[in-house]
Structure 1
Amino acid sequence: MSEGWSTIAWEGVSVRVPTDWSLVGVSGDAHKGYLRVDSPGTSVLEMRWLKAGNKPPELMAKGRELLSNLEKSCRKKGTKLASKIKADGDAVAFWWKADRIGEGRLTYCKKCDRVLIAQVIYSRDEDISETARTILKSMRDHRSDELINWALYGLEFAVPPGYVIDKYTLMSGYLQLSFKNHARRLIVERWGLAKTLLGEGSLIDWYRKDVLPDVKGFRTQLEEVKILDHSGLKMKGQASGIRQALKSAAYSLTLYTNPKLVTGYAWECPESNRLYSVRATHDEGENVAERIRDLIRCHN
């Protein structure tokens, strides 16, 4: 078992797990979702969340229903189930034992109107009960500020309210999370094997080749800057072209404006051998890209 811990967060819902546990599945949105995290062995964390409909739920009843359904499933397989459930402050904790062992927790956040349901499942010959309880008690529905947490595979940041996930790519050597807030766009990316990607060229050479082609409808310019004491660059641009003019005309008929500016940052982190990029479309005076950039920790 790893001695270190890392955060996994999706749609603001977060949990702390040992660093050698890996996110293997995620789905859903802020209203209803699911994630699964596997250990290097056979242990599994399953976590679900759902909106309560502005009606505080009876967590004990939900916990008993979960155990009842599990008992029915075990009965069909000819397996005996032993279980316990109890209140734990404002939360509900449960435990079950069949061919495997499960420890779980249910919580409700009035502010977010979300129910969180999580359980750690492990084999009967594993001794990770203390780890399971630490994981379950680390569950959080929101940050102390207004930002919304996102964290996976060591990439951790937060976005302002109003930005919703639009699309994402989760690969071993490349992560991209793309958000939208009406006409505004925010994209956070991370690449592995930075030295290989840069080769003999500069960071600006790489950015022009791999990132700028996706920045359409803006006249851009690049300048070298320092970011987190690393070699970095700043990209800024002004909306231009017929496509942007048509979008602005369309949004003029709504309550929202089409952003006229784009700002981006990219940097190389030698310690982690990774490349990072954050870019956002915005209007004058907004600093979304800077806020996200300053929240990212690229190495310990």
Structure 2
Amino acid sequence: MSTNSTKPRDDATGRSAPDSRDPFTRLGWQGIVAQVPESWNLAVVSGDRASGYFRADAPERPRFEVKWWKPTQSVSLNQVLERYVRELQKKSKRSQPRIEAQVGVRLVSRRKMRKPEMLGFTWMGEQTAWGLIWRCDECDRVVMAQVLGASDENIKSLAERVISSMEDHSSDGWDPWGAYGFLYEIPDDFALDTFRLVTGKLEFRFTRGRLKEEFISVCRWGMADVLLKEVALEAWLASSFPERYKDLRMDFTTAPVKGHSGAALLGQPRSVRKRIQERAQSVVRRRSPARFIANAWHCAESNKIFSAECNVRPDDDYLLHDVTESIICHEE
């Protein structure tokens, strides 16, 4: 890997990255968690927990990339980086500065990362990057993370702060998720199934089991003052939830949630046939079928409406409470 001619910039030169002075927040995706400037938001995601990628962008440029995979055989981190740099050099245009890289640089200590097998790297071309690649024996994943900047930016300190904060698996069976300022936790045996980002609304749905009968959904609606301008929260929920769950009859109980005005919801199948089928299956399988329960509330401090929704068996009803409590609806 070439290290001659132009060397990557270190902390001694270059202008500071402007977002390094921003407040930091959690970015969590597929068990990968980092503390990043709050102006960075997910721009690209792909894959799943076993193998995937995400990129977070600042308003002016891409800032943070993470790639992970489960290797099927022994892997050399040095060889992975060599291939990566060759790919970068192939993709760079002739009019752009040649990409020069260094492997084995010190970015984060092994003590801080708690990873015996890891390798720091940096490269510079039209832009610059500082990163780290490591293998985790606990989650059996190789993770490669890098912070990006303009070629005249000094980003090493920012990269060290972001990457040293990273975790690649949960320690208590709950994955911290965080995207677009929406922070919550989900049991790690539920897998991300779908997510929707539309104007004024975020929705993430996680499923468990081959048939995906059991699920957890978390939602956030913005501009609550507009949504509730001419209608009370209970009436708004009574109209919005049946639209999303047309096969369920919703029962609402007004109750405070997390110190805010809110409601508890219980969904029952509208179809009599479906209810009879569920009763019959519970007798045959000797276990109760999954049922829909939810909490929803209006957070005036953040001007948003939140919901935590579970379709789980009664023995797992506690998940609704725990997911609800994990949602950060406003900063204290």
Whether these two folds match at TM > 0.5 is yes
- Using a 3 Å threshold, how does the CA distance of structure 1 residues 43 and 284 change in structure 2: closer, same or farther? closer
1:1-300 to structure 2, matched below 5 A, reads 1=19, 2-53=21-72, 55=73, 57-74=75-92, 79-86=97-104, 89=110, 90=116, 91-181=118-208, 182-239=212-269, 241=271, 242-246=273-277, 258-259=289-290, 261-286=291-316, 287-300=318-331
- Using a 3 Å threshold, how does the CA distance of structure 1 residues 159 and 143 change in structure 2: closer, same or farther? same
Does the CA-based 8 Å contact 1:225-1:234 persist in structure 2? yes
- Using a 3 Å threshold, how does the CA distance of structure 1 residues 100 and 265 change in structure 2: closer, same or farther? same
Give the superposition deviation at 1:234: 0.6
SS at structure 2 position matched to 1:68: helix
Residue identity matched to 1:17: V
Give the superposition deviation at 1:239: 4.4
Give the superposition deviation at 1:299: 0.6
Give the superposition deviation at 1:38: 1.0
Return 263-272 or 138-147, whichever deviates more: 138-147
Does the CA-based 8 Å contact 1:266-1:277 persist in structure 2? yes
Q: How many pairs were matched up?
A: 298
The answer to which structure has the higher strand fraction is 1
Give the superposition deviation at 1:99: 2.0
Identity of aligned residues (%): 27
Does the CA-based 8 Å contact 2:56-2:63 persist in structure 1? yes
Does the CA-based 8 Å contact 1:183-1:258 persist in structure 2? no
Does the CA-based 8 Å contact 1:57-1:108 persist in structure 2? no
Does the CA-based 8 Å contact 2:96-2:125 persist in structure 1? no
SS at structure 1 position matched to 2:256: strand
Give the superposition deviation at 1:76: 5.5
Residue identity matched to 2:179: L
- Tell me the distance in 1 between the aligned counterparts of 2:193 and 2:287: 18
- Using a 3 Å threshold, how does the CA distance of structure 1 residues 178 and 245 change in structure 2: closer, same or farther? farther
Give the superposition deviation at 1:144: 1.9
Does the CA-based 8 Å contact 1:183-1:256 persist in structure 2? no
- Using a 3 Å threshold, how does the CA distance of structure 1 residues 161 and 44 change in structure 2: closer, same or farther? closer
Post-superposition CA distance 1:52-71 (Å, at most 9, x none): 23x45322221222223323
- Using a 3 Å threshold, how does the CA distance of structure 1 residues 253 and 121 change in structure 2: closer, same or farther? farther
> Once superposed, what is the RMSD of the aligned Cα atoms?
2.5
Does the CA-based 8 Å contact 1:56-1:110 persist in structure 2? no
Post-superposition CA distance 1:245-275 (Å, at most 9, x none): 447768998899741x221000001111000
Give the superposition deviation at 1:40: 2.6
Return 169-178 or 271-280, whichever deviates more: 169-178
Q: What is the TM-score of this pair, normalised by structure 2?
A: 0.81
Does the CA-based 8 Å contact 1:184-1:258 persist in structure 2? no
Does the CA-based 8 Å contact 1:120-1:132 persist in structure 2? yes
